Amino acid sequence: MERFNCDYKTMYDLDGQDVEFVGVLDNGQLWLTKDSEGNDVGFRSNFTIRKNGPMADNPAEGTPVYIDFLYKDQMDNGYVSTPSFTVLELRDTVPVGLAMTVTTPWAATNVTVKITKRCSNEPYEFTAADPANFPILSAKADAAPTITDVDDTNKAQGIYILTTGVGVTDDIVIRAIDDDGSNRTHVSQPLTIVI
């Protein structure tokens, strides 16, 4: 698999983030756990990435990633599963990466974001953007923050104006997603909107 500078930037953006971690073993099996409803899920974890480590012949060894598992009960209930697909098949169907940045900071109830395809400056154009394309992943203080509207007048340039609900009073973390009606086809990194 080719590596690009933006791959490392994406990895660095995970530093300090909580994620759902699924281990893929050398033989293609998955290391999973179950949620309270019995669904297969990854382990809730926090990534710490050692930046500016010593140079190594193998680039993966020069940037170690430490995974701190957050819940002991998930570890206690961890198991190995043989999926009905191969890792290569999975790689061919994972969503295409998008990069999302804030171009005009949040003011009153609006924030302007720009979305491009990963590792390029090519704008990403939603067919018809709506709030479902910008889920709120977490909120610093609000109980039920919402994105109520998306202005996609300038979507050809990858520019979207998001309107937040009146209850948004503190920082939120959002992501851009798109799908083809059946499968998620595009996904961005989490992005903090400073309120």
Together in a domain, 60 and 106: no
Same domain, 74 and 111: no
1-15, 18-32, 117-131, 151-165: least confident range: 1-15
pLDDT at residue 95, as a whole number: 64
Whether residues 108 and 77 fall in one domain: no
Distance CA 146, CA 169 (A): 11
Q: For the beta carbon of residue 28, count every other beta carbon within 10 angstroms.
A: 14
Count of positions (residues) in the chain: 195
pTM (whole model) above 0.85:
no
Domain assignment present for residue 2? The answer is: no
pLDDT digits (tens, 9 = 90+) for 61-104: 667 788 899 999 999 999 999 888 776 666 655 667 888 999 99
Pairwise pLDDT comparison (51 vs 22), residue with the higher score: 22
Torsion angle of the four alpha carbons 123, 178, 32, 71, in this order, in degrees rounded to the nearest 10: 80
- DSSP 3-state of 60: helix
Is residue 21 included in any domain, yes or no?
Answer: yes
Instruction: Find where tokens 């009905």 sit.
Output: 84
Q: Identify the band that residue 57 occupies on the pLDDT scale cut at 50, 70 and 90.
A: low
Which is more confident, 49 or 58? 49
Residue 108 sits in the same domain as residue 156: yes
pLDDT for 2? 45
1 pLDDT above the threshold of 50 = no
Question: Which CATH number fits the domain that encloses residue 180?
Answer: 2.60.40
Residue 131 phi, psi dihedral angles, 5° rounding: -55, -30
Report yes or no on 136 lying in a domain: yes
Judge whether 131 and 123 are in contact, CB under 8 Å. Answer: no
Give the pLDDT score at 189.
85
